[in-house]
Structure 1
Amino acid sequence: MTRNRLSSPRRAALSSGLATLLMAAVCAGTTGLQAGSAAAAPGNGGAAGVAAPDALQPARDTEPAATGHVTTIDQSTHQLRATVDGKTVAVFPAGFGMARFPTRSGTYHVLGKDPMVEMTSCSARITCDSGSPDYYDLQVPDAVRLTSGGLFVHAAPWDHSVGSVDTSHGCIHLNPADAKWFYDFSQVGDTVIVEGTGRGGGPVGP
């Protein structure tokens, strides 16, 4: 009887300790998953494998940055406005996709920069027929990449209606001097907000 009376507290203590261990394991697993996701995300400010201070906060990739380089490109005004810490540092005319190839609105981040990129209608899956009016094979300077699918902000020396008539196949056109400035200004991870265009799909080209 004495042994039975002593075993009850022991079982209670064992159950309590097991519950504590299980709860700790669950919390550690949740924190690890969230922190790992945040550390792997680009632009979170943390080193690889190390959670940033706000690692457990919701992802904010689609929200405009409040500081640093933020560029807004608005089809309704046909302007590119570059800011640093909220202060405007440059305003340029900009061209957008023609009606059949609309530029996509959204919040993007600069993925990379190329001093010269070959852009072809065939690689953009528009047409490979050299006789088509939509065919092109161009060497495009000062190209700032916004998506892996081929959306760029780039110089368009052949486009003499930048800021007034939209002639591109989805990319954003700048005059050569303005494109060079924007190319030098842009850094990987910068926020670029494209607005006023609708959200058309389809191929993207120069």
Structure 2
Amino acid sequence: MLWKSWIALVAALLQPGKSAASAVFQDPDTGLTFTSDFILYKADGRGITYRIAIPDNAQNYVPYDAVVQLVVPNDVGWAGLAWGGSMPRNPLLVAWKNNNDVIISPRWANGHVSPQPYSGSEYTIIKGGTKSNSTHWQVTALCKGCTAWTVPDTGAQRWVLPGGSNRLAMAYSPNKPSNAASPTSSISIHEVHSYWTHDFARAKNPNFEATVQRLIA
């Protein structure tokens, strides 16, 4: 029975739209308003929290900056986020803890292969929102180049629209990258992946640019 229960949960994890509606989170460390989703990766209830904050003046079909925050259990080797809702052909975030530091690596994959370093997006870690304790680590970062991109083989434009909900995807591995100190290190194949619909409309922040500039100064 336990084995069947585990299979059922894994099957549920791999289907889109299985998380509850995004919650609004007022972050005391940064002062930003995020929308937040908790995505399971283990049958025992362990999961990774993904949060997004965006400017209140962000417009459809216009690139805009975003702040992303991950809260990750210490047993996670690396955690991933796909801004386009699937692994291939969209900006990927891969993050892991290296001793007392957190590494964020922008990645891209043209298929279901190991994602390679990607120069089209850039992350600036916000130290005031990045911390760890005995059970979890948290990273908060400004991303430029995550909400709009061009698909290389077709030239098609893709967008993360700020006025509603967007499908995002996550991936998890228990294994750290081969060279955890390097953001370009090779990474292991993910053990679990999942999808959810994330609310961007309620993630809007007035004075976003000024707040972010203060946080990264």
Same topology, TM > 0.5: no
Larger radius of gyration: 1
TM-score by length of 1: 0.28
TM-score by length of 2: 0.27
Structure with greater strand share of residues: 2
For CA contacts below 8 A with separation 6 or more, give which structure has more relative contact order: 2
